[in-house]
């Protein structure tokens, strides 16, 4: 190095707790704004393109940082005024409410396609236009609220019921009208809060372990008009609450799952795709009833059923997808690990007089081979996995079915992409993908993908089989099968 040459010290990455004034350039997958500070990428929650914000770093890495918006210094030129605000803060369930709805749809369409092409390395598939939501607001049929200490001398004195303040686990912002919920749903929440204040029942404090009230879950039958409330509390004695269900939880758990008793209506009743459904309190059901119909209609279209096919419905839950396809199929077999959901599925099949659907309580990985032995190979497999997608072992079981078509209903395109790539390597071809917007005002997106078998599955290199019951590959269980018409199961299952 020549004498006098100056080498500039490398810039330091932002550190946790540091506050930065940054401008948001674009949106990342998951909805956070992308900004840059001294050359480092910063992912900022609460920031939209064009915004200049004061952000606090929550996590510092070598190449990037994560931060949350503390103050909106200057709104972007295209930002819309927030419509859903609680305690002066934007609703945490509507982080994209500042984006025009057309922009939301465009961003989601782009993110689905980008995930498939960039993460999955996929091409030569038809990327179809996104299906927009029927309602941009008041579409949710389920919301969960938290109890907290009210502010002395304010309107929420005594107890607050709403959402956690942005970036806080210890502060609850009281909610009066959440515009993601229907007016009856809001009224039900407010009624429970008034009861708690009238009875002077304190919120549970996880720090001191004192207090009673933890959470309130409000569910709605959009087509039936039913409102179902479930109160979650510590195991303490208090006056009878005006709710349908009561759940008790010990300790510091933030979960809403625990021993539950019925004080009013035990099951939620809903109608979907011309069918009637009943569900237990823990059952999964799409939180946008109207758009669930659109989503399942796309899945049925992609399946292309003629009335003769054998359909496997994996992760079937209470049977919604399989039962809506049953009229167009020869037979439907639903597979689900949660026994209570299988009970609901059987009940729903009876309720609608559907006799060509059977349901199995088993793990998708260990239950598929026994199901093929019992039912035969499927013509079509429908999968609706959680956000984590399909594990490699479940993908292998899926390939083993030799199904002509796989209809993949995804709530996370970043996990759909590698799963679709694995299936293409095994002889399938990704044909069509159609996004469906189930969650306006949020970055979340669902989509339906169609994969078709186009060539034989390449043979796998032989490997030593693990011992039966090993942690890597447990022995395949026998299946407990219950027919839709009420045939008793041989065994309740896996």
Mean pLDDT score, 453-463? 74
pLDDT band at 155 (very low <50, low <70, confident <90, very high): low
In this predicted structure, which of 39-53, 125-139, 288-302 has the lowest mean pLDDT? 39-53
Per the rule left: phi > 0, alpha: psi between -120 and 50, beta: everything else, 464 is beta
- Domain 142-266 fold is OB fold (Dihydrolipoamide Acetyltransferase, E2P) (2.40.50)
Q: Which CATH class is domain 19-79?
A: mainly beta
Mean pLDDT score, 368-385? 96
Residues 177 and 18: their CA atoms lie apart, in Å, by 34
Whole-number average pLDDT of the chain: 89
Task: State residue 494's pLDDT score.
Answer: 27
Structure tokens of 404? 């002509």
Residues 291 and 320: their CA atoms lie apart, in Å, by 13
In this predicted structure, which of 49-63, 122-136, 170-184, 372-386 has the lowest mean pLDDT? 49-63
SS3 341: helix
Task: State residue 150's pLDDT score.
Answer: 77
Q: How many CA atoms lie within 13 A of 138 on its CB side?
A: 8
Task: State residue 476's pLDDT score.
Answer: 35
Provide the percentage of residues in the chain whose pLDDT is more than 90. Answer: 78
CA distances (Å), origin 272, targets 72, 159, 229, 283, 288: 41, 37, 21, 15, 11
pLDDT tens for each residue of 197-220: 999 999 999 888 899 999 999 999
Domains of the chain, by residue range, sit at 19-79, 142-266, 269-483
Cβ atoms within 10 Å of 154's Cβ, excluding its own: 11
pLDDT over threshold 50, residue 254: yes
pLDDT band at 460 (very low <50, low <70, confident <90, very high): low
Q: Which of the two residues, 235 and 1, has the higher pLDDT score?
A: 235
**310-314 and 331-336: which strand pairing?**
parallel
pLDDT over threshold 70, residue 85: yes
pTM reported for the whole predicted model: 0.88
Task: State residue 465's pLDDT score.
Answer: 41
Extended beta strands in 7-60, E state? 19-23, 26-27, 33-37, 40-45, 52-60
Q: Is 411 a catalytic residue?
A: yes
Pure H helices in 122-202: 183-198
pLDDT over threshold 60, residue 454: yes
Question: For the domain 269-483, what is the CATH code?
Answer: 3.40.50.150
Task: State residue 152's pLDDT score.
Answer: 63
How far from the centroid of its chain's Cα atoms is residue 256's Cα? 16
pLDDT band at 29 (very low <50, low <70, confident <90, very high): confident
Task: State residue 153's pLDDT score.
Answer: 60
The answer to whether the beta carbons of residues 205 and 233 sit under 8 Å apart is no
Task: State residue 209's pLDDT score.
Answer: 86
The answer to whether the beta carbons of residues 118 and 129 sit under 8 Å apart is no
Residues 461 and 472: their CA atoms lie apart, in Å, by 18
Mutual orientation of helices 413-425 and 392-400 as an angle, nearest 10°? 50
Mean pLDDT score, 84-99? 94
Which of 91, 178, 411, 447 is catalytic? The answer is 411
pLDDT over threshold 80, residue 13: no
Q: Which of the two residues, 63 and 320, has the higher pLDDT score?
A: 320
Task: State residue 461's pLDDT score.
Answer: 55
The answer to whether the beta carbons of residues 482 and 346 sit under 8 Å apart is yes
pLDDT over threshold 80, residue 367: yes
Mean pLDDT score, 224-244? 97
pLDDT over threshold 80, residue 2: no
Residues 440 and 151: their CA atoms lie apart, in Å, by 32
Residues 54 and 35: their CA atoms lie apart, in Å, by 11
pLDDT over threshold 50, residue 469: no
Provide the percentage of residues in the chain whose pLDDT is more than 70. Answer: 89
Mean pLDDT score, 142-166? 84
Q: Which helix (H) or strand (E) holds 233?
A: strand 227-233
The answer to whether the beta carbons of residues 437 and 287 sit under 8 Å apart is no
φ and ψ at residue 127, rounded to 5 degrees:
-90, 105
Mean pLDDT score, 393-421? 97
Residues 113 and 252: their CA atoms lie apart, in Å, by 41
Residues 173 and 417: their CA atoms lie apart, in Å, by 37
pLDDT over threshold 70, residue 487: no
């Amino acid at each position: 190095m020549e004498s006098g040459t100056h080498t500039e010290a490398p810039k330091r990455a932002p550190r946790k707790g540091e506050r930065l004034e940054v401008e948001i350039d674009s949106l990342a997958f998951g909805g956070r704004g992308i900004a840059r500070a001294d050359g480092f990428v910063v992912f900022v929650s609460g920031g939209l393109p064009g915004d200049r914000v004061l952000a606090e770093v929550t996590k510092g890495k070598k190449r990037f940082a994560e931060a949350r918006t503390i103050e909106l210094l200057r709104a972007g030129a295209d930002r819309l005024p927030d419509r859903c605000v609680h305690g002066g803060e934007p609703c945490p369930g509507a982080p994209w409410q500042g984006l025009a709805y057309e922009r939301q749809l465009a961003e989601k369409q782009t993110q689905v396609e980008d995930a498939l092409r960039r993460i999955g390395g996929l091409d030569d598939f038809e990327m179809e236009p996104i299906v927009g939501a029927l309602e941009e607001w008041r579409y949710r049929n389920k919301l969960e609220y938290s109890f907290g200490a009210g502010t002395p001398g304010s309107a929420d004195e005594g107890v607050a019921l709403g959402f956690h303040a942005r970036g806080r686990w210890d502060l609850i912002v009281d909610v009066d009208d959440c515009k993601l919920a229907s007016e009856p749903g809001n009224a039900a929440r407010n009624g429970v809060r008034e009861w708690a204040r009238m009875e002077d029942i304190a919120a549970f404090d996880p720090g001191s372990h004192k207090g009673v009230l933890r959470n309130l879950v409000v569910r709605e039958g959009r087509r039936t008009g039913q409102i179902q409330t479930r109160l979650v509390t510590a195991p303490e004695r208090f006056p009878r609450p005006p709710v349908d269900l009561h759940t008790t939880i010990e300790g510091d758990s933030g979960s809403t799952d625990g021993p539950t008793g019925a004080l009013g209506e035990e099951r939620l009743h809903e109608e979907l795709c011309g069918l009637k459904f009943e569900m237990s309190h823990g059952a999964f059901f799409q939180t946008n009833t109207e758009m669930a119909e659109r989503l399942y209609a796309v899945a049925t279209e992609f399946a292309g059923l003629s009335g003769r096919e054998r359909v496997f419905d994996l992760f079937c839950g209470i049977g919604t997808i399989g039962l809506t396809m049953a009229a167009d199929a020869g037979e439907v077999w639903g597979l689900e690990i949660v026994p209570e959901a299988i009970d609901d599925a059987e009940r729903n099949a009876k309720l609608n007089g559907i006799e060509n659907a059977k349901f199995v309580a088993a793990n998708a990985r260990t239950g598929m081979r026994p199901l093929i032995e019992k039912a035969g190979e499927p013509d079509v497999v429908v999968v609706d996995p959680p956000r984590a997608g399909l594990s490699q072992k479940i993908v292998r079981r899926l390939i083993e079915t030799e199904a002509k078509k796989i209809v993949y209903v995804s709530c996370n395109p970043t996990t759909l992409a590698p799963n679709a790539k694995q299936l293409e390597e095994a002889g399938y071809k990704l044909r069509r993908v159609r996004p469906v917007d189930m969650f306006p005002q949020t970055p979340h997106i669902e989509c339906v993908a169609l994969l078709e078998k186009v060539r034989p599955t390449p043979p796998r290199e032989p490997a030593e089989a693990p011992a039966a019951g090993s942690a890597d590959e447990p022995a395949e269980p026998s299946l407990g099968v219950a027919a839709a018409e009420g045939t008793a199961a041989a065994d309740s299952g896996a």
